[in-house]
């Protein structure tokens, strides 16, 4: 039984977009952590301020990554062949709904009030893995930086 080509143009675009979003998030994460490490090392403020600076910077970093994925969902969902997000909201494909959905997936919260269907599920599963890894990376970074600052005081 012939099922057609393995990757259609729409599917190839979705896969390429998924890898581009993950790659951009990992590179952004790396660069921000590298810069933050240098900045924290140069900050003469007492350690509590350094820790607060770090936590707020990481929070902003994760929000930026969530927004990137949310915008990616919105752009991909403009093509019906990529699938849809459905849920109780009247417009589950709006930008803010896509960002909300991205936050739920990125944090692996998985509420289930917005449900993906179709090929977009590839991005959803990949974002969950990327989000888990990036959040874990931030937790490890925070642990190391806190050890360093509390040891120095």
**pLDDT band, residue 8 (cuts 50/70/90):** low
Average pLDDT taken over every residue of the chain: 89
**Tens-place pLDDT, residues 72-88:** 999 999 999 999 999 88
> Is the pLDDT reported for residue 143 higher than 80?
yes
Tokens 């509390």 — which residue?
A: 150
pLDDT band for position 44 (50/70/90)?
A: low
Question: Whole-prediction pTM value?
Answer: 0.89
Does any domain span residue 3? Answer: no
The answer to whether residue 2 is domain-embedded is no
Cα four-point dihedral sign 126, 86, 60, 136: negative
Structural domain that includes position 64: 9-152
Domain membership of residue 101 (yes or no) is yes
> Which pLDDT belongs to residue 135?
98
47 within domain boundaries: yes
> CA 95, CA 40: separation in Å to the nearest integer?
34
> How far apart (Å, rounded) are the C-alpha atoms in residues 6 and 123?
17
Helix, strand, coil proportions of the chain in percent (round to 5)? Answer: 75, 5, 20
Say yes or no to pLDDT of 117 above 90: yes
Domain assignment present for residue 122? The answer is yes
In a domain, 23, yes or no: yes
CATH number, residue 84 = 1.10.287.70
In a domain, 4, yes or no: no
Residue 1 resides in a domain:
no
Q: How many independent structural domains does the chain possess?
A: 1
pLDDT digits (tens, 9 = 90+) for 14-35: 999 999 999 999 999 999 999 9
């Amino acid at each position: 039984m012939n099922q057609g080509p393995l990757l259609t143009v729409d599917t190839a675009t979705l896969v390429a977009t998924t890898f581009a979003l993950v790659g951009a998030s990992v590179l952004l994460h790396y660069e921000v952590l590298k810069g933050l490490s240098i900045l924290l090392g140069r900050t003469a403020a007492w350690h509590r301020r350094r820790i607060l600076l770090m936590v707020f910077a990481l929070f902003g970093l994760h929000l930026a990554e969530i927004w990137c994925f949310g915008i990616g969902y919105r752009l991909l969902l403009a093509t019906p062949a990529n699938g849809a997000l459905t849920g109780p909201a009247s417009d589950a494909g709006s930008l803010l709904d896509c960002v909300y959905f991205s936050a739920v997936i990125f944090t692996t919260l998985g509420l289930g009030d917005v449900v993906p269907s179709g090929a977009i599920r590839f991005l959803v599963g990949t974002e969950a893995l990327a989000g888990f890894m990036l959040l874990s990376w931030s937790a490890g970074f925070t642990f190391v930086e806190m050890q360093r600052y509390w040891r120095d005081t």
